[in-house]
Amino acid sequence: KLLAYDPFPSEQALELGAEYVDLKTLYAQSDVITLHCPLTPENHHLLNADAFAMMKNGVMVINTSRGALIDSTAAIDALKQQKIGALGMDVYENERDLFFEDKSNDVIQDDVFRRLSACHNVLFTGHQAFLTEEALTSISQTTLQNISQLDRGEACPNQLNA
């Protein structure tokens, strides 16, 4: 059963068998919760202590979207209480000084990150979730299409003017 929550339901998701529900229902009934959304003021810390309290014991949570969708301190408490059984994070709220260069010889100063990374059931992938054949093919095709459009003097939907 595929449960989904989105303020803008997708016809394509329905065709794939998704059933749209409210967040309380999604939290209460899901074995796995994955986040696929932009960060907005309305969903900052979408997964917080209140949300974790509504979830099944042992839920798997995966965030490949934006770090601030998860209240990391609340996630630590949920891990300690075994509310979260596994946590996968491709992103982290305070990742700026952590993910974009080799820190293997540095002492990590972020205590929340250190506590999370010390858990055997937490996996950080540091913005590597895109590293699939499909994603890289799509990125390459879009880039080549953009170059071709600009070369022909055509409008390019991805062009940014500074």
Q: Measuring CA to CA, how many Å separate 133 from each of 76, 100, 130, 141?
A: 33, 22, 9, 12
Query: Do 67 and 89 meet the contact criterion of CB atoms below 8 Å apart?
Result: yes
Residue 110 in contact with residue 97, Cβ under 8 Å?
yes
Q: Are 60 and 42 in contact (CB under 8 A)?
A: no
Task: Give Rg (Cα) of the chain.
Answer: 19
Q: What amino acid positions are annotated as catalytic residues? A: 66, 95, 127
Amino acid at 52: F
Check: CB of residue 64 under 8 Å from CB of residue 91: yes
Question: What six digits make up the tokens of 80?
Answer: 């300690």
